[in-house]
């Protein structure tokens, strides 16, 4: 169930899109997770190369020319620290900060409720600091075809499906398997409708769009676009930065 804060009217969203001659793009940075595997550290504020993780994400979207506005969704504990960070770094485009919900999709819904007068939404995980502005721009280009595009990389490991007893049921071919990342780019009316129809819990926004009956296009992501989940991931990210991502 989507929280009450998500009150976008689909008809108004479509009318807003028609009123604007120039497509406007908003970004939602989902960063309200509890960082349960980070030994008590909020991963978006964890130091990475001398800067907080989230500052890399904000910089990438700040440098991405098509993006007009950024909404950063955080947990209540990190709210003030993030506001101070934004004020200190002084981004050239508006950055709003709001509090998210218990689930990722609740946080994205909170971000969506802050949007107006835009046609496209780029949703990105705050824990993926090595996103390049080119990856964001490519997603906006790819999304023109179906209204929804998601960064992903071909799976390199052999994947097996198993039952609760861990007995292997199937070994699917890797040829058509992709590991999904963010950014994920959607036309505003599509992602709004998908959230209004949302049932159950999902792990990414594209799943809701698929459930709503829309086609989602995959485009080539980056193996360097890792997600910070454990302290060890910070070390990997440090290495990538040192070697020039």
**Per-residue pLDDT tens over the stretch 127-144:** 999 999 999 999 999 999
pLDDT score for 203: 87
Integer Cα distance of 161 and 179 in angstroms: 15
Distances (CA, A) of 206 to 47, 184, 241: 30, 7, 29
pLDDT score for 118: 94
Q: What structural domains does the chain harbor?
A: 10-151+179-242 (3.90.550.10)
Q: How many of the other CB atoms lie within 10 Å of CB of 20? A: 11
Integer Cα distance of 59 and 53 in angstroms: 10
Across 122-126, average pLDDT: 97
pLDDT score for 2: 52
pLDDT level of residue 18 (50, 70, 90 thresholds):
very low
pLDDT digits (tens, 9 = 90+) for 163-197: 999 999 999 999 999 999 999 999 999 999 999 99
Q: Which tokens in the block code for residue 87? A: 């004020």
- Cβ contacts of 216 within 8 Å, gap of 6 or more: 146, 148, 149, 150, 206, 209, 210
Residue 26, beta-bridge partner list: 69, 121
pLDDT score for 7: 58
Integer Cα distance of 151 and 135 in angstroms: 8
Q: Which tokens in the block code for residue 16? A: 């807003």
pLDDT digits (tens, 9 = 90+) for 74-95: 999 999 999 999 999 888 899 9
**Residue 97: half-sphere exposure toward Cβ, Cα within 13 Å:** 19
Q: Are 224 and 187 in contact (CB under 8 A)?
A: no
Q: Which of 148, 86, 154 is nearest to 123 (CA)?
A: 148
In the chain, alpha helices (H): 10-19, 53-63, 79-89, 104-112, 133-146, 188-196, 205-211, 231-242
What's the residue count for the chain?
Answer: 245
């Amino acid at each position: 169930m989507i929280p009450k804060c998500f009150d976008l009217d689909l008809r108004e969203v479509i009318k807003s899109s028609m009123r604007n001659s120039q497509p406007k793009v908003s970004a939602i940075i989902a960063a309200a997770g509890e960082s349960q595997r980070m030994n008590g550290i909020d991963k978006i504020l964890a130091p990475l190369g001398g800067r907080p993780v989230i500052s890399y994400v904000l910089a990438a979207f700040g440098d991405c020319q098509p993006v007009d506005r950024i909404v950063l969704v955080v947990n209540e504990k990190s709210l003030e620290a993030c506001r101070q960070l934004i004020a200190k770094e002084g981004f050239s485009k508006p950055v709003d900060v709001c509090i998210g919900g218990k689930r990722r999709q609740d946080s994205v819904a909170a971000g969506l409720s802050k949007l107006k007068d835009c046609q496209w939404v780029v949703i990105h995980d705050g824990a993926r600091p090595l996103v390049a502005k080119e990856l964001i721009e490519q997603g906006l280009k790819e999304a023109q075809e179906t209204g929804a595009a998601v960064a992903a990389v071909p799976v390199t490991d052999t994947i097996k499906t198993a039952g609760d007893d861990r007995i292997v049921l199937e070994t699917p071919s890797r040829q058509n398997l992709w590991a999904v990342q963010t950014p994920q780019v959607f036309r505003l009316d599509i992602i709004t409708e998908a959230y209004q129809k949302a049932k159950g819990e999902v792990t990414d926004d594209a799943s809701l769009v698929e459930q709503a009956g829309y086609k989602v296009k995959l485009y080539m992501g980056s193996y360097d676009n890792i997600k910070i989940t454990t302290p060890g991931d910070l070390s990997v990210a440090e290495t990538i930065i040192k070697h020039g991502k």
